[in-house]
Structure 1
Amino acid sequence: MRIISLVLIWASISLSQNVGQPAPDFTLTDLNGVQHKLSDYRGKIVYIFWFGYS
């Protein structure tokens, strides 16, 4: 579920980013109430999967 939350926020932010530029840091709260920051994953590969429901 954390990944889903990260995907949704990242997707809205990524529209204003240029390819190759670092994404701005942001914080998300998962379904268990735990906060996660993008900077917590610095130096790691972050896989973003965005799936839209219609």
Structure 2
Amino acid sequence: GDGDFEPKRWSVHDKTRQTFWGHEAPDSWFDEASPFIHVLTGELIEKEKAKLTLYKPDFTL
């Protein structure tokens, strides 16, 4: 299993954590989602707007 290591965390507002190439994070990281099927009914679950407390920052290094 996992050791007793603390998980690595990063903030969406950390200016050093964009992409490995130094560009802003792509919109797809914030706007796209995979479709899900309800386990009991087999019906597709409708997507809804994310309930995020942090959104994509508007800066680039």
TM-score bin, normalised by smaller chain: under 0.3
TM-score by length of 1: 0.26
**Larger Cα-atom Rg:** 2
TM-score (norm 2): 0.24
Q: Which has the larger share of strand?
A: 1
